[in-house]
Structure 1
Amino acid sequence: MTDILIVGGGVGGCACALAACNAGLTVIMTEESDWIGGQFTTQATPPDEHGWIERFGCTQTYRTFRERVRQYYRTNYPLKPEALTNPVLNPGNGWVSPLCAEPKVFLHVLKDMLQPHVQNHKLTILTKHIPVAADSTGNTVHAITLQNTRTSEPTTITARYFVDATELGDLLPLTGTEYVTGSESQADTGEPSAKPIANPANSQAFSVCFAISYHEGEDWTIDRPKNYDFWREFTPSLSPAWVGRLLSMSGISPRTMQPVQYTFKPHNEPNKAFAGLWTYRRILHKDLFKDGAFDSDITLVNYPQIDYLLGDLCNASAEEKERLIAKAKEQSLSFLYYLQTELGFKGLKLRADVVGTEDGLAKRPYIRESRRIKAEFTIKEQHVSAQYRPGQILAEPFPDSVGIGFYRIDLHPSVGGDNYVDVESLPFQIPLGALIPKRVDNLLPVCKNIGTTHITNGCYRLHPIEWNIGESVGNLLAFCLGEDLRPRAVRNDRTLLQHFQQLLIDKGVEIAWPDDIKLEEGDPHIHAM
C-alpha cells in the first residue's frame, strides 16, 4: 500500500512524484523503459519552450531543473570560458529551445532531484514495468497490476490515489475511466479547426527520433533498411496535399501551408532561428567546448520526414502497437540512409551512445497525442485561440487555474489524413477541471491525457506544461490526503480552491500570466521552415 501509484515515469510523472514526496507522501512510480524522463530522455526530444522561459512562465522546480542541467555541463564538461560563464548556457545552441541538451544529462538531473526521496524511502521507482490490469468498483480504483517485462512476473499495488502518467493514457481503459481518442467533430466541440465528422482513430503522427554526428571524410553508412524502396517513394495522402515524397528536402510550412525547401548543412548553419535542420534540435555544439573535446556537433533528428502516418497507437492492441513502432523505426532509419546515400552525407554517424540503445534509435517513440479523459472541464480552441480574443494578449482566464503555459496550437499531420493544423494561440492557464475525470474519484492524468480536445492537445502537450500539470497534481493529492478531500471537491468549493491555489503559489507555481507581456517576445520557435 502506498499513498500514490504513478504509472509512467515521463515528464509529468517525475514532476508529480517530486511534488508529492516533497509534501511528505509515499510514492511508487513505474516506467516501461529503463530510463525515466519521457520526452526529455527516452523519447530524446529537447524541450519546446516559449520565449519568456528564462524569466517567467514555468514553475520554480522546472526552473531549478533547467539550471541544474546547465550546472551539470559547467561541472563535468570542458566548456570554453565564455560558455562556462554564460548564465543562459544552451549546450547544443539548438534554436527550438534555449536549453537543448543530451538525454543522458536530463536523465542524470532528474534522477539526482528524486534521489533524496528514494534514499529516505518515500519514493520507489520500478523500471521495466507496464500496467496490465486494474481492480475498480464504482468510481474508485483499488489496485493496479503491473508486469515486469524483464521477468514477466506480475505485481499488484494498492494505493489511495492513482496517477496515469503513461504516454498513451494506458490506465484509462484498464480502469474503465471514460476517455476519447482522435479528433472530435465540430458539432461536438464547436471548434473552427475541427472536422465535420469525428474520427477516433485520427491521432497525430508519432516519431522515433535519433541522434547523429557528422564526420567529414568518414563513411558511417548504415545497412540499407529492408523496405527502403517503399519509404523512398512514400508520399503522404493528406489534405491539403503534401508536396512530393516525404523522404526529401521539400515539405509544407505549417503556418502558411505553402511548399518549403529544407536546409541541411552539418556544421555549416548559422546559430539562429530557422537556419536549418542541423541546428534545429542540435543538442551539443562542439564550438562551445575546448578545442579537441568533441570532433562533431550532435543533433537530434525529429523532423517531418520521420512522422509515422500509417497507424494509430491509441487504438492499437499491444501486438499491433509494437508492429507500428517497428515500422516507424524502419522509416527513421530509411531517412538516415537517404541522407547518407542520396544526399551524400556518408559521414553522418548514428549515435547509439547518446540515446542509450543498441539500434541507435530512441528508447521509445515521441508521442504527440494520447487517450484523453472525459473531464469536468474540456479545454477548447475557443478558450486559447487568438482569433477568439481580438485585441487581447491572454487566453480566456480560468478561475480554477493551477498553472500556465504557452505554445501555438501545433498539430502534426494525422493518421486520418489531415495535414498540419497550426493556429495562433495566446498565453493560457491550466484549469483544474481539465485534470479531473467526470466520474472516477481517485485517478488523475498528468500527461497528454488531460481534458483537452484533439485541437487543444496541440498546445498543452509540451515539456514545461506537462511538468506543471504533474507538479500541480502531486500537490493536489497531498492537499486532498491532508484534508480528507476528493479533487473535485477542491475545485467546486471556492474557499478550498483558493486555499489550494495559494499553496501552489507559495511553492513557486505560477497560475496567472503578467498582464503586460509582449506576444512577439514569447512566440515559440516551431518547425524548421
Structure 2
Amino acid sequence: MILVKNKFRLLLCLFASLSIQTIRAQKVVTTDVLVVGASASGIAAGIQSARLGVPTIIAESSTWLGGMITAAGVCAFDGNHNLPSGIFGEFRSALYKVYGGPSKVATGWVSNTLFEPHVGDSIFKTMAASTQNLTIKYQWQFQKTIIENGVIKGAEFTQTLTGEKSIVYAKQVVDATELGDVIASAGIPYDLGMESNDITQENVHKGPSNNIVQDITYVAILKDYGLGKDCTIVRPAKYNPDEFDGASTNYYFNLLRQKPSVDAQKMLNYGKLPNNKYMINWPGYGNDIYLNIVEMKEEDRQKELIKAKEQTLRFIYFIQHQLGFKHLGLADDEYPTKDRFPLIPYHRESRRVKGLVRMDINHIAKPFQITNPLYRTGIAVGDYPIDHHHKKNPEAPQHLDFYGVPSFNIPLGVLIPANNSGIIAAEKSISVSNVVNGTTRLQAIALLIGQAAGTLAATAAKENIPAEKVSIRRVQNELLQTNAYIMPYFDLPLLHPHFEAVQKIGATGVLKGQGVPTGWANRTYFHPDSLVNRNQLVKDIAPYNTLKESQHKTLLLSEAIDLIIQMAAENKIIDTKNSKNSIQTTASNYKWSLQNKPLLTKQIKAAWVDWKFGYFDEQMPLTRLEFAVILNATIDPFNLKQVNHQGIIIE
C-alpha cells in the first residue's frame, strides 16, 4: 500500500513538473492589435494600424509579406489602375521607383502593373521596417483563437522551426488569413460556396445553394534563360498534351472546346514580367484546378495541394516540350523553395463571414437606388468586373448570368461579424455574396480592405470599444488622410485639389454619382462640371435640410448661400439669435458668418479665388463641383451627422 502511494506521489510530481515546463515553454505576448496572416490585407492592416500609433503584431506562417500578391506569385494587379487609393497607391509608386516608371511595369497584357514577386516582398518589408509600433512574427502558424466570455481575446501560434508555442492577447484581432481560419476557429458563422438566387436576389446563379468554390491555381514564375538553354523539366507523371488542348492556337484539335483567341507567345505575354520572366496563371485550359480545401486541416490541405503543383508542372512541360519554349524554366531567383514554386497557392475564395451587412451585386449595380445606401459607409474601392473561375469543376454551373457593373465601394459593415466582438474580417473573408467575391477578391482591393481593417482595429483599440461601435465617419476620415478613396469617382482623381471635398459630399448622398460599366476598368462619374439639378437636390439633401421645390432647374449661387444659412439654423450649427456668430468647420480654414448673408457672400467670394473657380456672380448657376466645395467648407455635412452600418443618416 505504501509503495502504491509513493508511486502515485511520484506520478503527481512528474505531471506537475511537465505542466510547469509546458507553461514556461508557452510565451505570452500582449499587444493592442493582432493581425493573423501577412496576406495582402494583412500587411496593409498591420502597417495602417501601427501608423495610427497602436502597438501591432502581424503573425505570418511564412517568411514573406503580401500573400497572393507575392508569396502566391499573382504579381499583376487586376483593376484599380485609375483608382490609386491609399496603401495600394503607395505600393504601386514604390514599384514605379524600383523599375523606372509606369511603362516599365506594363510588360504583360493582363494588367497595367506587373512585377517580380521578390520585389513586391522587398517593398512590403521596407514599408514595415519603417513603421513604428509594428512587430512581425515570421513562421508563426496559427493554431486557435483565445476566447473569454464569448469575446475573442487573442490567438495561439506555433513557431514552425522551433515548435515553440506563443499566445498573443490583443484588444482587436484581424483575420487576414487566406481562408478565414481565425473566424472558423472562433466558431463565427460564415458562408462557403454559392448561394441560391432565393437568398441573394442577384439573378446570376439560378440554381440551388451549393458548397462549390472557385478553382485555385499554383502559379509558377518562369524565367528566360536564353535561346540556347534547354530547361525542359522531367516529363511529369500522367502527362497528356490533350489536357491543354485549346490553351492557344498552336495546339488546338478538340473542336468541342472553345476556340482559343491567342497564340502561344501571346498566351505567355499575358503574364510577362519585368526582366524576362513570366507569371504562369493561365485560366483557359491551363493550370487552374478545382480543389475545395477551405475547411480541411492544414496537413490535409498540403496533401491536396500536391495535385495543384502537379497540374502546373504538366502545363510547364507542355509549354516547354509541346509549344517549344525550352529556354523558359522555373526562376531560380524568386522563391526560397526547393522546387522553385511559390510559397502558397492562389486561393480565389475563402469562408465569408456573416457580417453586420452583406454586400451583393445589387449594391454594386445600383448603389444609389437601393433601400440601404451602403455606399455612404464606403472604406475601399474597386473597378474590376465580376470574375469567376469554374472551368475545372464539371459540377460547377458553367453558365452564370454575369452582367456589367460600374466601379464600386465596399461598406465598412462587411468587415464586422454580426454579434461577435473582438475580431475583424479582411482579405477574402468579408461579408459579400459568392458572386461579389468575384471582384472583391482581387489584389488592389484586398490591400484596401486591409487598410480599412487596420484603421478600424486601431480606432477600436484606442477607444477601448468594440469595432461595431466605432464611428464610420471616423474611419473614413482616417482613410482620407492617407490618400485613400471612399467613393470610386473616375473623373475627380486623387491629385485634384478638391478630391477630399467631393469624396465627402459623395459619401453623404447629397450629390450622387453615376455608375457606368465599361468592361475591364469600370467607372463611376461625379460629373463635376455639370450644373446642380435642383429638383434632384430637393430629394437628396433631405436628411440634412428641407429644401423647397422651385421652378428653377438649377441652383443659383445666391440660393445656395440661402440654403447654407438655413442648414446652419436647422442643424443648430450657430446661435440663431446672434447675427455676428461665425464658425470654422473641420473641413475649412475659413471662419463663416452663417447668419449674415451679405457677410457670408463676401467670405465665399474671397474663398472663391483660393478655390480657383474663376468667375463669381451671385446669380450664376452652380456646377456640382462648386456646390460640393462650398457645402463641404461651410456646413461639412459629412461630419455633421453620423451614419449607421446600413447607410442611414442618424438624426
For the criterion TM > 0.5, the same-fold answer is yes
**How far did residue 504 of structure 1 move?**
2.2
More strand by share: 1
Where does 1:439-478 land on structure 2 (aligned, <5 Å)?
439-478=419-458
Q: Which residue of structure 1 aligns with residue 272 of structure 2? A: 282
- Decide whether the 8 Å contact of 1:93 with 1:100 is kept in 2: yes
User: Does 2:98 correspond to 1:69?
Assistant: no
Q: Which residue of structure 1 aligns with residue 50 of structure 2? A: 21
Alpha-carbon distance change, 209 to 250 in structure 1, aligned in 2, over 3 angstroms = farther
What does the per-residue CA deviation read over 1:108-138, in whole Å, with 9 as the maximum and x for residues that have no partner? 1111111023xx5x22211222211222145
**How far did residue 225 of structure 1 move?**
1.3
- Decide whether the 8 Å contact of 2:268 with 2:278 is kept in 1: yes
Q: Which residue of structure 1 aligns with residue 361 of structure 2? A: 381
- Decide whether the 8 Å contact of 2:33 with 2:56 is kept in 1: yes
Q: 1:399 aligns with which of 355, 361, 376?
A: 376
* SS across alignment from 1:259: coil
Where does 1:122-521 land on structure 2 (aligned, <5 Å)?
122-200=133-211, 202-214=212-224, 215-229=226-240, 232-234=241-243, 249=251, 259-266=258-265, 276-284=266-274, 297-304=276-283, 305-385=285-365, 398-413=375-390, 415=393, 416-419=395-398, 421=400, 422-490=402-470, 496-514=471-489, 515=513, 520=518
Q: Which residue of structure 2 aligns with residue 81 of structure 1? A: none
Letter in 2 for 1:405: G
Letter in 2 for 1:6: V
* SS across alignment from 2:259: strand
Alpha-carbon distance change, 137 to 99 in structure 1, aligned in 2, over 3 angstroms = same
Q: Share of identical aligned residues, percent?
A: 26
* SS across alignment from 1:228: coil
- Decide whether the 8 Å contact of 1:43 with 1:365 is kept in 2: yes
- CA–CA distance in structure 2, aligned partners of residues 262 and 153 of structure 1: 53
User: Does 2:46 correspond to 1:48?
Assistant: no
- CA–CA distance in structure 1, aligned partners of residues 76 and 253 of structure 2: 23
What does the per-residue CA deviation read over 1:452-481, in whole Å, with 9 as the maximum and x for residues that have no partner? 111110010111111111111111122222
**How far did residue 88 of structure 1 move?**
2.1
Which has the larger displacement, 432-441 or 341-350? 341-350
Q: Tell me how large the CA RMSD over aligned residues is.
A: 2.8
* SS across alignment from 2:161: coil
Q: Which residue of structure 1 aligns with residue 104 of structure 2? A: 90
* SS across alignment from 1:352: coil
Letter in 1 for 2:260: Q
Q: 1:101 aligns with which of 115, 119, 128?
A: 115
**How far did residue 497 of structure 1 move?**
2.5
Q: Which residue of structure 2 aligns with residue 273 of structure 1? A: none
Q: Which residue of structure 2 aligns with residue 60 of structure 1? A: 86
Q: Which residue of structure 1 aligns with residue 613 of structure 2? A: none
* SS across alignment from 2:171: strand
Which protein has greater RCO, CA pairs closer than 8 Å, 6+ apart? 1
Which has the larger displacement, 415-424 or 185-194? 415-424
- CA–CA distance in structure 2, aligned partners of residues 521 and 401 of structure 1: 22
Alpha-carbon distance change, 336 to 32 in structure 1, aligned in 2, over 3 angstroms = same
- CA–CA distance in structure 2, aligned partners of residues 280 and 312 of structure 1: 27
What does the per-residue CA deviation read over 1:182-203, in whole Å, with 9 as the maximum and x for residues that have no partner? 1112222122112422112x01
Which has the larger displacement, 165-174 or 140-149? 140-149
- CA–CA distance in structure 1, aligned partners of residues 373 and 406 of structure 2: 9
- CA–CA distance in structure 2, aligned partners of residues 473 and 127 of structure 1: 21
Alpha-carbon distance change, 53 to 92 in structure 1, aligned in 2, over 3 angstroms = closer
Letter in 2 for 1:507: T
**How far did residue 92 of structure 1 move?**
5.4
Equivalent pairs, count: 462
What does the per-residue CA deviation read over 1:136-189, in whole Å, with 9 as the maximum and x for residues that have no partner? 145411221111222222211111111111111111111111111111122221
TM-score between the two structures when normalised by the length of structure 2: 0.66
Letter in 1 for 2:278: T
- CA–CA distance in structure 1, aligned partners of residues 426 and 484 of structure 2: 15
* SS across alignment from 1:353: coil
**How far did residue 62 of structure 1 move?**
1.9
TM-score between the two structures when normalised by the length of structure 1: 0.81
- CA–CA distance in structure 2, aligned partners of residues 61 and 141 of structure 1: 27
* SS across alignment from 1:399: helix
- Decide whether the 8 Å contact of 2:231 with 2:327 is kept in 1: yes
Q: Which residue of structure 2 aligns with residue 37 of structure 1? A: 66
What does the per-residue CA deviation read over 1:76-129, in whole Å, with 9 as the maximum and x for residues that have no partner? xxxxxxxxxxx4233351122222110111111111111023xx5x22211222
What does the per-residue CA deviation read over 1:301-332, in whole Å, with 9 as the maximum and x for residues that have no partner? 00024444342021223232112211100010
- Decide whether the 8 Å contact of 1:62 with 1:464 is kept in 2: yes
- Decide whether the 8 Å contact of 2:193 with 2:210 is kept in 1: yes
- Decide whether the 8 Å contact of 2:37 with 2:176 is kept in 1: yes
What does the per-residue CA deviation read over 1:497-524, in whole Å, with 9 as the maximum and x for residues that have no partner? 3333223222322111224787548627
Alpha-carbon distance change, 453 to 520 in structure 1, aligned in 2, over 3 angstroms = closer
* SS across alignment from 1:69: helix
**How far did residue 244 of structure 1 move?**
6.9
Letter in 1 for 2:430: I
**How far did residue 432 of structure 1 move?**
0.7
- Decide whether the 8 Å contact of 2:388 with 2:438 is kept in 1: yes
Letter in 1 for 2:44: A
Alpha-carbon distance change, 465 to 420 in structure 1, aligned in 2, over 3 angstroms = farther
Higher Cα Rg, which structure: 2
Alpha-carbon distance change, 90 to 251 in structure 1, aligned in 2, over 3 angstroms = farther
- Decide whether the 8 Å contact of 1:209 with 1:302 is kept in 2: yes
- CA–CA distance in structure 2, aligned partners of residues 283 and 497 of structure 1: 39
**How far did residue 420 of structure 1 move?**
6.8
- Decide whether the 8 Å contact of 1:177 with 1:439 is kept in 2: no
Alpha-carbon distance change, 166 to 220 in structure 1, aligned in 2, over 3 angstroms = same
Q: 2:521 aligns with which of 509, 520, 523?
A: 523
- CA–CA distance in structure 1, aligned partners of residues 438 and 215 of structure 2: 12
- CA–CA distance in structure 2, aligned partners of residues 370 and 195 of structure 1: 21
